[in-house]
Amino acid sequence: MTDVDPSTLASGPASGPALGHLEALTKDDLRRWLGRALRGQEPLPRLTIDEAPDITVARHESDLGSLVRKDLRTASMELMIRFIDEAGRATEDDDYVRALLGVVQRLGVDDAVVSLGMLAQGERFDAIRVEQQAAVLGALLDLRAPLDRSFWHRVAGRGRHLALAFTGLLRLGMDGVDVLPQISGDEIVADSLYVVLSQHARHLRPEDRNRLVGRVREVSGRCVAAIGAMLDEWLAEQEGRAPGVSAPTNEGLDEALEAFFAERHQPYERKPESAKLLPDVVAA
Amino acid sequence: MSELSLRSTAFVTFYSFKGGVGRSMALINVAGILAGRGVRVLVMDMDLEAPGISFLEGVQPEHPGFVDIVLDAVERGGQADLFSRSPGELVELYSYRYELPESIVEDEGGLLRIMPAGRFGDGRYQSRLDRLGLGRRYREGSGKPLVTAIKTVIREARSFDLVLIDSRTGFSDESGVCTRDLGDHLVVVMGLNRQNVEGTANFFRALRASGTCPHDVRVVVSPVPQGEDDLVDEREAVASRRLSEAWGEPIEPSVRVPYHPRLALTDEPHIFRSDRGGLYDAYRRCERMVLEMLGSG
């Protein structure tokens, strides 16, 4: 993406719509303008120097007339179809693809879901850059594309985009949890997964949330350090205790100990005491 | 098994009030000598906060250990390995064989396995230790039954004649667990300076107050510097007096382990590379001392 001219930053209230000049463009010219804008080649009234062009366009789109807004959606879809048609043949800039997918979502171009879904499930998907694959899968998740378990399992089976596959599968059930031990991510990935898990758990019924907690606990020990540590924190939060503080003794442990000693004809007495030798530190 | 004939697995705890006195080294050397002479030995690294045995050369950082057994039991209850696997399987799963050099193997019937403090390879040991919260388990009432269950299962496995426990120092939770609940016999390793003597005396006082009565208690003085014989004798006399007062019974150091600069430079058990010299002789005396404690010396 080209550098942004600071003089194009929004500086205050303007007399008309910031993108008012689009009203005068033909459909073809509008598509060409949008393509250049998403590549950072058109001056845009950005709020910050690093604001992504799709955000700027979407923010000012509502100020435009209905016809040009409809034409912007059509232009977005056409650019998307071109990207899909040329997938694997022409190399697109990653930032452009991310901006294109962003503008499609922000402008609510629902038809893009079908086309993107077909791209993701087709053979040419493997031919596009890994970063762009991730952007497409992310867009499908954001657009709530109706993709089934087998699709996300296929994604996971390729050994890439496991965090995205986890998110997709989690929406369809608990299967996503089984993907967690395969994910080799750092703290940034772990933080993203934490958000996904937390948001998902928030909408579950208590009994389903407990099942999810149980499934996560089963796999947490097999995850890489950063993700395992995140899961420990998440489990602690779900169990209502501070991270690093041990889980409360569960009834299952009591029953297991009772059965263990009963089998051996030995008494089982749960007697609170101190692990330390010093008698004056016995827990109050 | 050549010299040790026991009805059931004996548990011997090696404790020191202060770190850096050579407790773990004494333990692993004794374990190696005994295993080489036909004894089946399990070493448990119970210095959970500062594991040492778990980091000996040749250890397997991915191997699960004590913390993993207990945490699994706490979190999975009846489904946990402690309750669902056979004793033999459990011991096999949570310990690994530590190979002895051929030079020290006199009897092929011996065996040395190590149960590490826990799994380190994934960088999450500390997190698991925190989750386990052994002290809190005791305060809740499930800690001692859990430790007793682990001891029972190790005995039932019938895989070992002897379990040597490398305890945590000071008045920590783990040191209480090791000296009171896990060990049947106690070897106390101590230096001769004032910190060591007074700290160890306080430990004996606390052990006595807790009502714990190990079958046998022995003291090993380590490390003992060369060329200060008069001062060593003087300090040893002070130590004997202070420990005896604290314990309520006479206590005399059984073995002196000489200071050797290599102890500060290598983790390899001394007996693996030398079968002579003052240090080797001291570890052999420690071995005889352990056998005497078990009634087989």
Which residue in chain B is spatially nearest to A283 when comparing CA positions? B139
- Are A244 and B74 inside 8 Å of each other by CB? no
Q: For the segment B267-290, what is each residue's pLDDT rounded down to a tens digit?
A: 778 877 777 788 899 999 999 999
- pLDDT at res. B59: 74
Give every residue of chain A whose pLDDT is below 70, as ranges: 1-16, 241-250, 278-284
Q: List the single best residue of B46, B67, B139 to mutate versus A (max A Cβ within 10 A).
A: B139
Interface test with B, best of A246, A250, A271 (most B CBs within 10 A): A246
Average pLDDT over every residue of B171-188: 93
CB A189 within 8 A of CB A227: yes
Q: In this predicted model, what pLDDT tens digit does every residue of B147-160 receive, in sequence order?
A: 999 999 999 999 99
Q: Do B139 and A224 touch (CB under 8 A)?
A: no
What are the b/e assignments for A154-169, b being 16+ CB within 10 Å? Answer: ebbeeeebbbbbbbbb
Whether A276 and B76 lie within 8 Å, measured CB to CB: no
Of B122, B143, B209, the CB nearest to A228: B122
Transcribe B120-176 into DSSP letters.
-TTS-HHHHHHHH-HHHHHHHT-HHHHHHHHHHHHHHHT--SEEEEE---TT-HHHH
The pLDDT of residue B269 = 85
3-state secondary structure of B14: strand
Which strands make up the sheet holding B253-258, listed edge to edge? B96-97, B111-115, B40-45, B162-166, B10-15, B185-190, B217-224, B253-258
Closest residue of chain B to A216, computed from CA coordinates:
B75
Q: Using a CB-CB distance cutoff of 8 angstroms, which residues of chain B are in contact with residue A229?
A: 124, 127
Smallest CA–CA distance, residue B54 to chain A, in Å, is 19
Substitution target in B69, B127, B156, B167 with the highest count of A β-carbons within 10 Å is B127
Measured between CA atoms, the residue of chain A closest to residue B182 is A275
Report residue B122's pLDDT band, with 50, 70 and 90 as the boundaries: confident
Please tell me the distance from the alpha carbon of residue A161 to that of residue A258, in angstroms, as a whole number.
45
Q: Report pLDDT digits (tens) over A34-44.
A: 999 999 999 88
Measured CA to CA, the distance from residue A61 to residue B18 in angstroms comes to 72
Structure confidence at residue B17 (pLDDT) = 94
pTM score of the predicted model: 0.62
Give the three-state DSSP class for B180.
helix
Residues of A with Cβ-Cβ distance to B186 under 8 angstroms: none
Contact call for B144 and A273, based on CB within 8 A? yes
Query: In 3D, which of B204, B85, B77, B208 has the Cα closest to residue B145?
Result: B77
Torsion sign over Cα A237, A241, A245, A247: negative
Binary contact (B80, A256; C-beta < 8 A): yes
CB < 8 Å to A217, chain B? 75
Q: What's the pLDDT at B190?
A: 96
pLDDT exceeds cutoff 90 at B45 = yes
Torsion of CA B91, B92, B94, B95, to 10 degrees: 100
Instruction: Name the band, by pLDDT with cuts 50, 70 and 90, for residue B184.
Output: very high
Residue of chain B with shortest Cα separation from A222? B122
Give the residue from chain B lying closest to A267, CA to CA: B145
Is B176 within 8 Å of A283 when comparing Cβ atoms?
no
Of B80, B134, B206, the CB nearest to A277: B206
Chain B residues whose CB is inside 8 A of the A248 CB are 140
Q: Which of A256, A273, A283 sits opposite B83 (nearest CB)?
A: A256
Residue of B nearest to A223 (CA): B122
Chain-wide mean pLDDT for chain A? 83
CB spacing of B176 vs A229 below 8 angstroms = no
Mean pLDDT of B204-222: 89
Contact B176 A225 (CB under 8 A): no
pLDDT above 90 (res B228): no
Q: Of B128, B171, B174, which has the smallest distance from its Cβ to A278's Cβ?
A: B171
Mutation to test the A interface, candidates B119, B140, B167, most A Cβ within 10 Å: B140
Token representation of residue B54: 């778990």
Residues of B with CB below 8 A from A270's CB?
140-142, 145
What per-residue confidence (pLDDT) applies to B2?
A: 52
Task: Please report, as a single letter, which amino acid is at residue A277.
Answer: L
Picking from B15, B70, B129, B131 by the largest number of A CB atoms within 10 A of its own CB, the best residue to mutate is B131
